[in-house]
Amino acid sequence: MTDPNATIVIGCDHAAYELKEKLKAFLLRRGAAVEDVGPHGTASVDYPDYGKKVAELVASGRYPRGILLCGTGLGMSMVANRFPGIRAALCHDLFGAIMSRKHNDANILVLGGRVTGETLAEEIVKVWLETPFEGGRHQDRLNLFDRIDESA
């Protein structure tokens, strides 16, 4: 059994299966452990099913960080952000990836397999994993999310 605290949980749909496989290999080369919730082939699947699996595993605290991929990244973002405690960030560039960690403490990174190429995706994953949350006033702002959840 791998250490959940050192493990990235990852999931996708058919549109991003190939990028998921490449990123998995990238993470393993970097020494990370990866929990892959699937799918395990290119047959058409429904992205909400896989978004839910990863979001639940991160929201429950089983894994601290997750990565989700679909064709655009949009559907996976919408699904993941429905789960309380999830801050999923769809990132297309390094600046967004860095700021999603520094200011938003994003716990799920979302990528679009039909949008972002392998090399940029790897760089995004790298900075997203390495950039710490700044806390302070940004934590105060995140605390306001809970009030929205409570009043919704």
For the annotated catalytic residues, the residue numbers are 70, 103
Least CB distance to ligand RB5 at residue 75 (A):
3
Q: Are 15 and 40 in contact (CB under 8 A)?
A: no
Q: Does 116 bind ligand RB5 (CB under 6 A)?
A: no
Q: Does 80 bind ligand RB5 (CB under 6 A)?
A: no
Pick from 11, 39, 51, 75 the residue near ligand RB5 by CB under 6 A.
75
Taking CB under 6 A as the criterion, which residues in 33-72 touch ligand RB5? 47, 70-72
Q: Does 26 bind ligand RB5 (CB under 6 A)?
A: no
Return all residues near 2 (Cβ < 8 A) that are at least 6 apart: 33, 35
Return all residues near 134 (Cβ < 8 A) that are at least 6 apart: 102, 103
Instruction: Label residues 15-25 b or e (16+ Cβ within 10 Å = b).
Output: bbbebbebbbe
Q: Does 74 bind ligand RB5 (CB under 6 A)?
A: yes
Contact residues: ligand RB5, CB under 6 A: 13, 15, 47, 70-72, 74-75
